[in-house]
Amino acid sequence: MSTIKKLYTSVLPHVYAFFGRTCLPYFPSKISIESGNLCNLRCPLCPTGQQDKSAKKGFISFDLFKKVIDEIGQHLTMIRLYNWGEPTLNKDLLRMIQYAKERDIDIKISTNLSMKMEDDQIEALLKAGLEKIYISCNGASSETYLKYHVGGDFGLVMDNMKRLVQKKREIPGCHTKFVWLFHIFKHNEHEIETAKELAQIIGIKIKISKMRPDMGKEIFETTQKALERDKAWIPDNSEYTVVSTKRKKRIGCMLPWTETMINWDGSILPCCAVYSEKHAFGNILENSFKTIWNNEKYIAARKEILGMKNDKQTICHICKRSGYLHGG
Ligand SMILES: C[S@@+](CC[C@H](N)C(=O)[O-])C[C@H]1O[C@@H](n2cnc3c(N)ncnc32)[C@H](O)[C@@H]1O
Ligand code: SF4
Ligand code: SF4
């Protein structure tokens, strides 16, 4: 997609939101599609890790993925092919990446990389044409790593990172980028420098990021409440303070103008912070995306964010009340 078109698709939603438009004549250009919400790890602040039962469990089928791409693929520049689970567990992952890539859509995944991988699997992953692989690893030693990535294997993650970097060098024209995501918590803040050194040795980019409190609950509660409950995880250094308590200017959350989240079962949610499909705005197996994108729930959610009168409650009403992405 040309730079001008990319610029146009990123500016357009802001113009429509600024002028108070809630019925949108365009489709989002960047979306998330959940490859599946099952996982091999049990990270304590992730609803999947907690085995939260408020979402149905499963993997998206290739047919459903194809249906989405066939309907809105021409408008898409990028898909995050993950949300509440481990994307590498979906047996159709490579097929989905290839299908999107053939249509000039960039695909990103985030993985815990804590699984045994054969050489040919690593090679196939890199040859599929992924734009970016985020690798979640919140520790620079096995002991620290295991406090968050319960059930994982630090040595395996390090080894897989090295093999990815090495294999990429062997594949001519491979453009896949790797980013080691290191979220700062109380238990790992002392290992940031070691992690940076390790990343340099491996030859991988590292992103030191702020943690989120319990990710399945955060849109339902105030920042203050989340910080109190999860204080055992909050870093001591205030520089790494988790979430902003600053009030957002005018509009607040822009996501219902810019993005959408398609769950593995076809449910459409306004953003990736929502866990359960019971808050869905519709299902792409029942209606076209075109219909859902401007249905009464989406319009009510946009009106609520803009502070306009509306009469249908959505997850965005709850979220706005608790101040998530809107300032507390
Ligand atoms: C729920 S995970 C699913 C993808 C994959 N299983 C993984 O862990 O990378 C989606 C993203 O959430 C991030 N994540 C997990 N726990 C987090 C936390 N407490 N704060 C911020 N990000 C977190 C992960 O690093 C990952 O990029
Ligand atoms: S954060 Fe990722 S690796 Fe951890 S439990 Fe959730 S889905 Fe699994
Ligand atoms: S208002 Fe909240 S629930 Fe709605 S899209 Fe924004 S962050 Fe997600």
Give dist(CA 144, CA 188) in Å, integer: 6
* pLDDT of the residue at 324: 73
* pLDDT of the residue at 167: 98
For residue 50, the ligand closest to its alpha carbon is 2
Q: What phi and psi values does residue 282 have, to the nearest 5 degrees?
A: 165, -175
Contact between 46 and 83 (Cβ < 8 Å): no
Bridge partners, residue 282, by sequence: 268
Instruction: Output the CA 58–ligand 3 centroid distance in Å.
Output: 23
Amino acid at position 62, single letter: F
For residue 218, the ligand closest to its alpha carbon is 3
Q: Is 134 in the pocket of ligand 1 (CB under 6 A)?
A: yes
* pLDDT of the residue at 244: 59
* pLDDT tens digits, 145-198: 999 999 999 999 999 999 999 999 999 999 999 999 999 999 999 999 999 999
Atom of ligand 3 nearest to the CA of 254: 6
* pLDDT tens digits, 262-275: 999 999 999 999 99
* pLDDT of the residue at 328: 39
Q: What percent of the chain has pLDDT over 70?
A: 94
Atom of ligand 2 nearest to the CA of 42: 5
For residue 42, the ligand closest to its alpha carbon is 2
Could you tell me which of 163, 203, 209, 204 has the C-alpha nearest to residue 185?
209
Give dist(CA 57, CA 51) in Å, integer: 10
Alpha-carbon 34 to chain mean position: 9
For residue 270, the ligand closest to its alpha carbon is 3
Instruction: Output the CA 317–ligand 3 centroid distance in Å.
Output: 8
Instruction: Output the CA 136–ligand 1 centroid distance in Å.
Output: 6
Nearest CA to ligand 3 atom 3: 316
User: How many angstroms separate the first and last alpha carbons of the chain?
Assistant: 38
Distances (CA, A) of 48 to 45, 52, 142: 9, 6, 22
The 3 state secondary structure assigned to 21-69 is CCCCCCCCCEEEECCECCCCCCCCCCCCCCCCCCCCCCECCHHHHHHHH
User: What H or E segment, with its residue span, contains residue 283?
Assistant: strand 282-283
Instruction: Output the CA 45–ligand 1 centroid distance in Å.
Output: 9
Q: Is 226 in the pocket of ligand 1 (CB under 6 A)?
A: no
pLDDT truncated to tens, each residue of the chain (328 aa)? 567 667 777 889 999 999 999 999 999 999 999 999 999 999 999 999 999 999 999 999 999 999 999 999 999 999 999 999 999 999 999 999 999 999 999 999 999 999 999 999 999 999 999 999 999 999 999 999 999 999 999 999 999 999 999 999 999 999 999 999 999 999 999 999 999 999 999 999 999 999 999 999 999 998 889 989 999 999 998 888 766 555 555 568 999 999 999 999 999 999 999 999 999 999 999 999 999 999 999 999 999 999 999 989 999 999 999 887 765 3
Contacts with 193 (C-beta within 8 Å, 6 or more apart), sequence order: none
Contacts with 268 (C-beta within 8 Å, 6 or more apart), sequence order: 260, 261, 262, 280, 281, 282, 283, 284, 289, 292
Q: Is 17 in the pocket of ligand 3 (CB under 6 A)?
A: no
* pLDDT of the residue at 9: 79
**Predicted TM-score (pTM) of this structure:** 0.95
